[in-house]
Amino acid sequence: MKGTSAVTTLIGTAWRAAPMTLLWAFTAATVGAVASAAFPLGFHYMVDGALAHRSGEVTFGVALVAILFSVATTLTTLSVTGNWTLTDRLNLFVSGRIALLLSTAPRLEHFEHRELLSEIDQLRNDRRSLAAAPRQLLRAWQVVIRGGAIMLLLATVYPPVMLMPLFGLIPALADRRAGRVQARTGDELAPTRRLIGDLFTLATTAETAKELRTYGVTDALAARHATLAEEARRRDVRGAIRAAAWEALGWVGYAAAFVGVIIVLVLRAAHGHTSPGQVVMAVSLMRRAQRQVAGASDTAGSLARAVRTARRLAWLEDYVAEETRAPGRTPVPDRLRTGIRLEGVGFRYPGSDEDVLSDLTVDLPAGATVAIVGENGAGKTTLVKLLTGMYRPTDGRILADGADLAGLSPDEWRARTTAVFQDFVRPNLVAREAVGIGDLPRIEDEAAVRSALAAAGADGLPSRLADGLATPLGRWFTGGQELSGGQWQRIALARGLMRADPLLTVLDEPTAAMDPAAEAELFTRFAALARAGRRAGGITLLVSHRFSTARTADLIIVLQDGRITEAGDHETLLARGGGYAELFTLQAKAYEPG
């Protein structure tokens, strides 16, 4: 994305956010700039008229200054209010746009790939520069108008003097170099600042407070935060000093040119080639030109930052457009007749050379309850991400009734899937909504919400809430009721059961905090629900590191180091006497009474 197209994007975004406010700001900026640049012309008439005792000329000069100065001051005051209104509206628009894009992207690479995440962090941090960009563009437009008017008026005094504003290129170029130095420093510090932010969140978030205090790491965490922050500050200061040196060098060059032009004008006035009024006007204009140069330098730096941010926004737009582009528009089946098949599926995360999954080939029959078991780090959650369309396989393919998952619309596929994860969300919403968002069209359907709660073994929960399903949950809002970990867990499970007739239901260790008996009882309940509702041929996927939980499944898949080592039902795998049988027996003995 080139700079010109970035500027076009900035203006177009402002127009979509607040067209009338932008139009008013542009008009006020244009008229105000002409008036503010032209009023020193009155000094010429006032001084020369006074020296020649021409009262009419003096009166004209006074009126010219008074009118133009008043217009410029009034429009400047009014445009400041309009500009800030425009900035506020655009800030909301840009923030909403970024949030929409990040949530629209169907897959997760941008949240887990280091390089992509760094770009997104910079975009989030600098989004206010996008909101301020139209204000900076209007300032630049005023600089152009004032600069042109100043050069024309200076030409009436002594044509070579009209080149004086061009000396402003010296500090402008120096400021541009300083801006590049600061931008490079910002890019280099982005990972460190992200780590500082993460440490700050850890140290100041209620969810982490108990564990940090239990292990006595609060002081160490604060010390590490302070060390990294000091390191970032030192590097930031070094960058600021280098940038300031370039800026100072540029202004020294401009000051030398300014002094030289004044000497020339004084000498010309002494020899009668220029009137005293013209000298006064020229000095006033050059002083204004100096302020224009300073404003142009500040504006150029802000615009350069905004253009870089606009390029990042354009990258995100292109990235999301590419991710959401329908590859084949293969329709999602209304029901599964054969099931889901993995053919030679392999996967490695972006930016990594290590395979997390390798050569997975297995059939998940329609209507079956399938358990994926394996020790932590075996690749279970990664497989879930592939099945739910969060990632595409690096190798091989996943077929739903023969249709490649890569050719289906991710949104349409996920509209027919549901899942509950170990790191489930605890939304601070009304209880009905905290469950109902699992099937947004039925979020207000209280009967559906209560049915989902009952299926999750939490049918008695509403009676323990102050206002039943209308009770706000969590501590964020006044009157909110905090839940226990187990109650939040049941809310998450109920949320995952809201969707009717899903093709794929995933339970990715959401009950890992429960004891094995409670987890097995809950998974047995889900397996029974799955068998009772096989109208859509839906597959229920139970993910656990506890082998005893999987015994009720129709098919058990054992993952080890990213590979399938065994597959079959519980009795078959026990009879084989392989790894499943060994680990099942070991885990069972661990929970026998001592």
In a domain, residue 470? The reply is yes
Structural domain tally of the chain?
3
Q: Is residue 138 part of a domain?
A: yes
d(CA 423, CA 223): 28
Which range of 209-218, 226-235, 525-534 scores highest in mean pLDDT? It is 226-235
Backbone angles phi, psi at 456, to 5 degrees: -90, 5
Amino acid 4: pLDDT: 44
Name residue 563's beta-bridge partners: 560
**Residue given tokens 């065994």 in the structure block:** 566
- Convert the pLDDT of each residue in 365-396 to its tens digit: 998 889 998 888 888 989 999 998 888 899 99
SS3 (DSSP) at 546: coil
Lowest mean pLDDT segment, chosen from 13-27, 235-249, 412-426, 570-584 = 13-27
pLDDT tens sequence across 86-118: 778 888 888 888 888 888 777 777 776 666 777
169 C-beta neighbours (distance < 10 Å), count: 15
Residues 356 and 486 reside in one and the same domain: no
Q: What per-residue confidence (pLDDT) applies to 532?
A: 57
For residue 242, being part of any structural domain is answered with no
Residue-wise pLDDT tens digits, 325-373: 755 567 888 888 999 999 999 998 877 788 899 999 999 999 888 999 8
**85-96 exposure pattern, b = at least 16 Cβ within 10 A, e = fewer:** ebbebbbebbee
Predicted confidence (pLDDT) at residue 3 exceeds the cutoff of 50? no
408 and 431 in a single domain? The answer is: no
155 or 294: which carries more pLDDT confidence? Answer: 155
Q: Give tens-digit pLDDT for 475-527.
A: 777 778 888 888 888 898 889 888 888 899 888 876 655 666 666 667 666 66
Residue 550: pLDDT over 90:
no
Supply the pLDDT for residue 515.
Answer: 63
**pLDDT > 70 in the chain, percent:** 88
pLDDT exceeds cutoff 90 at 185: no
Residues facing 417 on adjacent strands: 504
Lowest mean pLDDT segment, chosen from 156-170, 258-272, 290-304, 491-505 = 290-304
- Long-range own/partner contacts, residues 161-167 (CB < 8 A, 24 or more apart): 161/261, 161/264, 161/265, 161/282, 161/286, 164/257, 164/258, 164/261, 164/286, 164/289, 165/289, 165/292, 165/293, 167/253, 167/254, 167/257, 167/258
Same domain for 69 and 105?
yes
Q: Where are the alpha helices (DSSP H) in 217-365?
A: 218-270, 276-324
| Distance set, CA 38 to CA 62, 69, 78 (Å) | 13, 9, 19
Task: Reduce the DSSP state of residue 37 to 3 states and report it.
Answer: helix
* Domain assignment of residue 197, yes or no: no
User: 314 with 342, same domain?
Assistant: no
Average pLDDT, the chain: 81
259 and 180 inside one domain: yes
Domain shared by 24 and 97, yes or no:
yes
- The pTM score is 0.63
- Tens-place pLDDT, residues 56-72: 888 888 888 888 888 88
Question: Of 450, 474, 501, which residue sits at a domain end?
Answer: 501
User: What span, in angstroms and rounded, lies between the C-alpha atoms of 58 and 4?
Assistant: 46
In degrees and rounded to multiples of 5, residue 174 shows phi and psi of: -65, -40
CA–CA separation, 459 vs 447, rounded Å? 11
Task: Mark which of 443, 476, 501 sits at the end of a domain.
Answer: 501
Give yes or no: residues 48 and 169 share one domain.
Answer: yes
Please state the rounded mean pLDDT for residues 163-175: 74
Q: Any idea what the CATH number is for the domain that residue 533 is in?
A: 3.40.50.300
In the prediction, which pLDDT does 507 show? 87
Backbone phi, then psi, for 360, in 5-degree steps?
A: -85, 120
Task: Assign residue 83 the CATH number of its domain.
Answer: 1.20.1560.10
- What's the pLDDT at 182? 81
* Residue 35, pLDDT score: 85
Domain presence at residue 226? no
**Is the same domain home to 492 and 398?**
no
Residue 545, in any domain of the structure: yes
Specify whether 394 is located in the same domain as 526.
Answer: yes
Q: How confident is the model at residue 333, as a pLDDT?
A: 87
Q: Per-residue confidence at 2, pLDDT binned at 50, 70, 90?
A: very low
164-168, 430-434, 586-590: the lowest-pLDDT one? 586-590
16 with 112, same domain: the answer is yes
Q: What is the mean pLDDT of residues 406-419?
A: 85
Domain end call among 453, 471, 501? 501
374 occurs within a structural domain: yes
Does residue 286 share a domain with residue 154?
Answer: yes
Query: Quick one: how far is CA 54 from the chain centroid?
Result: 66
Predicted confidence at residue 436, as pLDDT, reads 92
The pLDDT of residue 5 = 61
Q: What is the pLDDT of residue 390?
A: 86
132, part of any domain: yes
Per-residue pLDDT tens for 429-484? 899 999 999 988 899 999 999 999 988 888 888 899 888 999 999 877 777 888 88
Give the integer Cα–Cα distance in Å for 535 and 533.
6
What residues make up the domain containing 341? 333-416+503-586+590-594
pLDDT score recorded for residue 263: 81
Same domain for 178 and 269?
yes
